[in-house]
Structure 1
């Protein structure tokens, strides 16, 4: 896939703070905030600081290659803070960069026998649709003549969600089912992503959930969904591989999008998960602050260092 000439340097700040009325103890926490390194995302530095300092932090790659920090604790505290600071070079791709093999340019098509075994689990539906509501909605984008341009169809679906649904931020955990989102005609970026994933899977495409960050490349090119983590979709298209579709902003390509975690289902891509133990009612508040600064693309020849982050964790719910 060809990438645009603009390769901005970005500084990411992601701070999550959990507050308690009384000191509590913390169980094991898993943290997924380190951006994935690839040909279009090069990490210059990454630091993740946890307060209170954990007893141990170890790093691993999960089944889909996401970087995960696992932290354990040996002290109690009233506050738990994750402070992630990342600097990276981004070489985004846009709609014009998408190349599709001849056999897949018109829908329907069949993935190659070489690719299909690895794509099957990403084609499987994850949510029940007994009345086939998602199927009917997805079919509206298919040309009844039988000559449906694959990329145009997926782009139209992405734009339709942006145009026809109302974006409503919801900081608390949880995601609507695709059927709920379709019925309510509103939701968060997570809800939009899960609706589109189920819709394209209903059409036979392999799709995955993506969690990461969104930023506005220019003042004219403003993006919705900042201030927190962002979610979108990847669809596998022969010739370009996994292509980004952001239904919240109605865009195709990775311009303005920084990948952190990729998963078959949203529950595999939770930024922070873990447990705490203490008196019932101790949990007081959780705040999340995400800030992305776009720098001048000046350091093209900067030496890239793969700094292994140090980490910070959060809670899930009370364990008596």
Structure 2
């Protein structure tokens, strides 16, 4: 178990004041067996009215409503969690799913079908061909070994390039360019897994880099901003984390905030402005994830 503090600040600065439509904020993790929420604080400038809802995926969404105009829009989320991430990839997969290909049970197929369906058009089979290279030349392929090699290959063979602009590259474009951001790599991994008949979903959240606390380079890529990876549904293991940006899986350093079928359904901030800003806004994102010591229990004097 690790106690972590996540401070996430997103700021928009406009050349001149504008009005703001509703903004949907995806900052808060849901309590679960692997993430326990200790405390949370959300500060918004200018002042906003908040209401909360669960979206179609069960993510916790804050909806902010504004009055008046302002040239500054700032969201600061400060969260402390207890993280119980799995760090043991030997958790058993069900016997029938240990090798590829396999079929999900009939009782689960209706719920998983939309997550097995492909997201990107691939008329020339580029992603299919890329995914098939990880299968054994003959006979069955070990499921976990195939996915682990796919994850490491994306880390080793593709160039990581942080991109601030909106949007996600298609898996075909990422293969063609040989480079991408964490969200591009997540989608490539998802589409490749789906090409092998597996259910996959997009994850947005944060990445803890131990180097921030130890000063020793951990080789972690993608900290200091929001992070993206994917989950693949493996019978017996359930939804399993794969971070192709860092070539890791089943790790303890991923802090899940939201999941979705498509990347554009899991944006940390979504909203609109009203009026003529006099030019494009400037956006900055700052994320800091640090480890915290457990509070020391005290006993009242008798």
Tell me, yes or no, whether TM beats 0.5: yes
Asked whether 1:8 is paired with 2:2, we answer yes
In structure 2, what is the equivalent of residue 44 of structure 1? 38
Find the partner of 1:142 among 107, 118, 135.
135
Asked whether 1:252 is paired with 2:245, we answer no
Please give the secondary structure, in 1, of the residue aligned with 2:192: helix
Please give the secondary structure, in 2, of the residue aligned with 1:170: coil
Q: Residues 105-144 of structure 1: matches in 2 within 5 Å?
A: 105-144=98-137
Q: Show structure 2 runs of 5+ residues with no match.
A: none
Asked whether 1:261 is paired with 2:255, we answer no
Is the CA contact 2:167–2:264 (under 8 Å) kept in the aligned structure 1? no
Is the CA contact 2:159–2:178 (under 8 Å) kept in the aligned structure 1? yes
Q: Distance in 2 between matches of 1:252 and 1:220?
A: 19
Normalised by the size of structure 2, how large is the TM-score? 0.94
Q: Distance in 2 between matches of 1:36 and 1:145?
A: 43
In structure 1, what is the equivalent of residue 189 of structure 2? 196
String of CA shifts for 1:91-114, please: whole Å, max 9, x gaps: 111243432011111111111111
In the TM superposition, what is the alpha-carbon distance from 1:47 to its structure 2 partner? 1.0
What do you get for the CA RMSD once the two structures are aligned? 1.6
Find the partner of 1:271 among 252, 264, 268.
268
Q: Distance in 1 between matches of 2:297 and 2:111?
A: 37
In structure 2, what is the equivalent of residue 71 of structure 1? 64
Is the CA contact 2:4–2:80 (under 8 Å) kept in the aligned structure 1? yes
In structure 2, what is the equivalent of residue 20 of structure 1? 14
Please give the secondary structure, in 2, of the residue aligned with 1:283: coil
Find the partner of 2:236 among 235, 239, 248.
239
Q: Distance in 2 between matches of 1:105 and 1:187?
A: 30
String of CA shifts for 1:295-315, please: whole Å, max 9, x gaps: 23x34989xxxxxxxxxxxxx
Q: Distance in 1 between matches of 2:99 and 2:220?
A: 30
Find the partner of 2:283 among 282, 286, 290.
286
Q: Distance in 2 between matches of 1:81 and 1:170?
A: 21
String of CA shifts for 1:31-80, please: whole Å, max 9, x gaps: 001123211110000111110001x2100000111000111111211100
Please say which of residues 222-231 and 266-275 is displaced more in the overlay: 222-231
Is the CA contact 2:14–2:277 (under 8 Å) kept in the aligned structure 1? no
String of CA shifts for 1:218-258, please: whole Å, max 9, x gaps: 64644210111000010000001000000000001132100
Normalised by the size of structure 1, how large is the TM-score? 0.89
Q: Distance in 2 between matches of 1:145 and 1:18?
A: 54
Moved over 4 A (4+): 299-302
Please give the secondary structure, in 2, of the residue aligned with 1:174: coil
Flag the 1:237–1:295 CA change in 2: closer, same or farther, 3 A: same
In the TM superposition, what is the alpha-carbon distance from 1:184 to its structure 2 partner? 0.4
Is the CA contact 1:95–1:252 (under 8 Å) kept in the aligned structure 2? no
Q: Show structure 1 runs of 5+ residues with no match.
A: 1-6, 303-320
